[in-house]
Amino acid sequence: MAAGKGTRMKSQLPKVLHLLAGRALLRHVVDTAAQLAARQVVVITGHGADQVEASLVSMAPSADEASVALPIQCVRQEPQLGTGHAVQQALPLLADDALVLVLSGDVPLTRADTLRQLIAASQASDTNNSKDSGRLALLTLDMADPTGYGRIVREGEAVQAIVEHKDATPEQRAQLREVYSGIMAVPARWLKIWLARLDNRNAQGEYYLTDIVKFAVADGVSVVAHKISAAVEVAGVNSPVQLAELERAFQQRTALELMEQGVRLADPARLDVRGQLNCAQDVSIDVNCVFEGRVRLGEGVKIGAHCVIANCVIEAGAVVHPFTHIDGEKLGVTVGEGALIGPFARLRPGAQLGAQVHIGNFVEVKNSTLARGAKANHLAYLGDATVGERVNYGAGSITANYDGANKHRTVIEADVHVGSNCVLIAPITLGAGGTVGGGSTVTKDTPPGALTVARGKQVTVANWTRPQKKPK
């Protein structure tokens, strides 16, 4: 269900498209369905339907390797007449032999394992049920303050109904602490029969999905409540505050998983993973780092404080010093074994750094390959460059790779030494083992092994007196 308005978000963006850990809320739910190997996903849209449906096109298949591509279909619910009415819109797409799992697009943190247990509860063989056609399984939990939620009404142990808060008697409101989470598993065959019987004669004038519980009881189909204790798994997002709370819950969960794998986090409360972070053994991460997209950290990698790292592979033993920004976007970034990066380095898409490369403070690298042992330690720019082994690239030097219309490559062969503050005007090749004197603006290829200097000659005027101010 993703048709709701989300008024309290006070946003132009449909609620289910707000991001949690870099993924739309709805995408979390779809990815969870994918983990369950669902046969199909039907998304019920309404408010912001065009935008929500467009977003789903880019959602399948998921970036998550564990999940498989699954067909996603959308149905529209216009107007929104309640949760039962919402699910009615999906019925024509559901096969009779299907088991339907009803999820909300604004409840992102339900664990696949919890849903597997719910599904198991709906399928457990039932000696009392001669019809043996599956059960209605409700995901429930006890709440200290159940205000606003549908209450589970039992007779003895047996679930009889769900009564919505607004329809509940004062006694029910005061006594019933077990609430319906909004998630159920129900055989499609029964769902079709029961939804046809819904009416909207209730406090809200809505078609309640929850009314099917009493129809199940009337038809002799058992209703089971699978009770969980982790409220965060069924918590919905209605406001920016709740979104931030669930973001923290998600990040805490991620941090715990990483630490269980052996990753050393300086402070699990100061880590943000918005994508997939894979770590080999003995990785350590200092405070306030943000990881986005797909990031892989090799054995023994150390990440300093305040780094933002997206879409890259950092090989074993590399050290990324504080305040470094790495973003591989589509081309990716590779940092080779034992490389030293930062502090304050910037690696952009297509930066491919070999083993033992050093990139120091205020150095920017874009779409460039640096071979083993190359160094650019201070205040430099390497764009569209191919840099050979052991090259030393001096402070303040830049590749002038852009002529205002096209990008050109700079090739710096092995063992070249580029002095400080050089401008290398591409396209250009600096021959192996050559040296470029500091302050040179190099416009022509340089031969191997030679010293090239391209700057104004130093002139000295002896006994020079500076001009004096004239008296008024």
Q: Which residues bind ligand UD1 (CB under 6 A)?
A: 1, 3-4, 44, 46, 77, 80-83, 85-86, 104-106, 149-150, 162, 164, 179-182, 208-210, 236
- Pair 403, 422: CB distance under 8 Å: no
β-bridge pairing 381-383 and 364-366: parallel
378 is an active site residue: yes
Residue 17 DSSP SS3: helix
b (16+ CB within 10 A) / e for 227-236: ebeeebbbbb
- Phi and psi based region of residue 323 (left: phi greater than 0; alpha: psi -120 to 50; beta: remaining): left
List the structure tokens of 11. 């946003």
Nearer to ligand UD1, 3 or 277 (CB): 3
> CB neighbours of 54 closer than 8 A, spacing ≥ 6?
none
Which residue number, 138 or 307, has a Cβ lying nearer to ligand UD1? Answer: 138
Cα separation of 20 and 67, whole Å?
Answer: 18
Question: Among residues 92 and 404, whose Cβ is nearest to ligand UD1?
Answer: 92
Q: Tokens 């990008």 belong to which residue?
A: 407
Contact 150, 213 (CB under 8 A): no
Nearest-approach distance from CB 202 to ligand UD1, in angstroms:
9
Catalytic-labelled residue, pool 325, 378, 408, 417: 378
DSSP 456: P
Which of 79, 156 has the CB closer to ligand UD1? 79
The nearer residue to ligand UD1, 85 or 348, going by C-beta atoms, is: 85
Is residue 336 within 8 A of residue 372, CB to CB? The reply is: yes
DSSP β-bridge partners for residue 187:
99
- Spell out a b/e string for 151-173, using b for 16 or more CB atoms within 10 Å of the CB, else e: bbbeeeeebebbbbbeebeeeee
Cβ 21 vs Cβ 125: under 8 Å: no
Residues across the chain? 472
In whole angstroms, give the CA distance from residue 274 to residue 428.
40
Q: Retrieve residue 424's tokens.
A: 């290398």
Taking the least distance from each CB to ligand UD1, the nearer of 133 and 175 is 175
Structure tokens at 129: 């049920």
Output the smallest distance, CB 304 to ligand UD1, in A.
Answer: 41
Instruction: Catalogue the active-site residues.
Output: 378
